Amino acid sequence: MPRFYCPTPLVSTALLDLPEGAARHVQVLRLQPGDAITLFNGVPDAQGCYGECAARVTHMGRSSVQVQVGEWTATARESQHAVHLAVGMPANERMDWLVEKAAELGVVSIQPLMTERSVLRLSGERASKKQVHWQSVAVAACEQCGGNRIPHIHAVMNLPQWLKTVPEPMPGAKDVQILKLLLSLRAGAQSLTTHVHDLSGESAVPASTHIVFLSGSEGGLSEAEETAATATGFLPTTLGPRVLRAETAALVALAKLL
């Protein structure tokens, strides 16, 4: 059944004019009055559960689509862990691909970074337009994969600026814990499994833990950047003996974590 992101309140039995993007998508698919669709708005309920609504097309105009909203259903398709990806932006179309796949895997947020070795450099209006574009890529990925939580794409930042904003781990805190992992090729980096699993292979990280994963751009982070990251609590982490491309490494880590 076609799924559409509808960033408005979804009230059961209400008649709703779809926003422009969703309406255009419905028309492209040539849906007709009576056809069933699914709507989601990326907003959790009072218990923090994400979900979606059944709906049915009631009217097709030249540039508008009206639907009747059905019952809201909590749908658990999200990971038990909230994983936030901070990544040195790869060049060309690879960042689009990374955002799409990260959204499919269920990442909570993506922080695009400029690092010493970054090929892609963005600032001002161009950076703002890219942020909006990547957010739309994430929305489309969630429409396709069934995710009801839309990853938030943060504004582009440079690495030193961003490191100052990352919260410190909170040992002993009863609520949210923070685990900060840094993809690294340096000697002594521990495997991702070591950081997140116990000897039985089960998750050793509480479900309330937020995992912040930092990955470099082409060529990885410089030695100085890694030192700065570890000084703020990031744990050097390896994915194994192979050297993966920037966008591949980030997605492999997400797949293992999620």
Instruction: With residue 175 as reference, give the H or E element that holds it.
Output: none
Torsion of CA 155, 158, 164, 165, to 10 degrees: 10
Under a CB-based contact definition with an 8 Å cutoff, are residues 181 and 211 in contact? yes
pLDDT given for residue 136 in this prediction? 95
Give me the residue label for tokens 């990955």. Answer: 215
Instruction: Report percent pLDDT > 90 for the chain.
Output: 54
Instruction: With residue 94 as reference, give the H or E element that holds it.
Output: helix 94-105
**Cα gap 238→243, rounded to integer Å:** 10
pLDDT digit string (tens) for the chain, length 258 residues:
899 999 998 999 999 999 998 999 999 999 999 999 999 999 988 888 899 999 999 999 888 999 999 999 988 788 777 899 999 998 878 999 999 999 999 999 999 999 988 888 888 999 999 999 999 999 999 999 999 999 999 999 999 999 999 876 544 445 668 889 999 888 888 888 777 765 445 566 776 788 999 998 888 899 999 999 999 999 999 888 888 888 888 888 888 877
pLDDT for 72-83, tens place per residue? 998 878 877 789
